[in-house]
Amino acid sequence: MAMVRKLETHGIRHPAVLAAMGKVERHRFVDSALANQAYEDTSLPIGLGQTISKPSVVARMIELLCHDRPGKLGRVLEIGTGCGYQAAVLSVVATEVYSMERLRGLHERARENLRLLRLANLHLLMGDGMLGFAKGAPYAAIIAAAGGNDIPQAWLEQLAVGGRLVAPTVTATGQQNLVVVDKTARGLVRTELEAVHFVPLKSGIG
């Protein structure tokens, strides 16, 4: 709960997001040797060159997805399951979550981390996240835990009209920023926000 209070000082206001961050125990998703750092606002290594994002970044991105939405989010696609932490938080604020991971080692680790939580609305997928997951489309929201030079076309196609996508993306400045894309009946509306630092978005399965 101290972590949640700290998130409020970072400007996180959405009640459902704060409740979800308070419900999912972050120490379950990191190595036991790092458990004493689990509730600090820092990213931590989870193996295979990947990291678990800072709590403030997870909360910020999910709050952007929930912005102006009454009630729960609908179906969400997460690109980059990692250790499964963000997927677990998403499962609290959404009716259904599809989470895709390209690295088998992390996919298996997330499955193990999440087994005891028994989240019936969370589906873990092994595959190339850049292709999205067409079978589950359209999505009310899409969120990515890795940043590319552009937002893959497949994601934009799989986003529902009225849906929102949040992803770190390299912008015209050459640095990575959080980018929000709203899909309206008249087209896509793109908004660039603050600078962030995520692992690179890659294609293929490893």
Number of domains in the chain: 1
Assess if residue 203 is contained within a domain. Answer: no
Asked whether residue 189 is domain-assigned, the answer is yes
Residue 206 lies in a domain: no
Classify residue 205: in a domain, yes or no: no
31 inside domain = yes
Instruction: Please state, in angstroms and rounded to a whole number, the distance separating the CA atoms of residues 23 and 164.
Output: 24
Provide the token pair at 32.
């036991």
**Looking at this protein, which amino acid is placed at residue 19?**
A
Backbone φ and ψ for 3, nearest 5 degrees, come out as -65, -40
- Considering the domain boundaries, does residue 127 fall inside one? yes
Q: Give CA–CA dist 17/110, Å, rounded.
A: 21
- How does pLDDT run along the chain (206 residues), one tens digit per residue? 999 999 999 999 999 999 999 999 999 999 989 999 999 999 999 988 888 999 999 999 999 999 878 789 999 999 999 999 999 999 999 999 999 999 999 999 999 999 999 999 999 999 999 999 999 999 999 999 999 999 999 999 999 999 999 999 999 889 999 999 999 999 999 999 999 999 889 998 98
pLDDT of residue 199: 87
Write the CATH number for 121.
3.40.50.150
- Contact call for residues 177 and 193 (beta carbons, < 8 A): yes
- What's the confidence (pLDDT) of residue 194? 95
The span from the CA of 113 to the CA of 129, in Å, is 20
Confidence at residue 173, expressed as pLDDT on a 0 to 100 scale: 86
CA distance 163 to 111: 27
- State the pTM of this model: 0.95
Which amino acids are annotated catalytic?
Answer: 53
With residue 156 as reference, give the H or E element that holds it: helix 153-158
Question: Given this model, what pLDDT does residue 68 score?
Answer: 79
Tell whether 114 is covered by a domain: yes
For residue 164, is it within any domain? yes
pLDDT the model gives residue 80 = 96
What DSSP assignment string belongs to 70-126?
-S-EEEEEEE--TTSHHHHHHHHHEEEEEEEES-HHHHHHHHHHHHTT--TTEEEEE
Q: Which domain holds residue 58?
A: 2-195
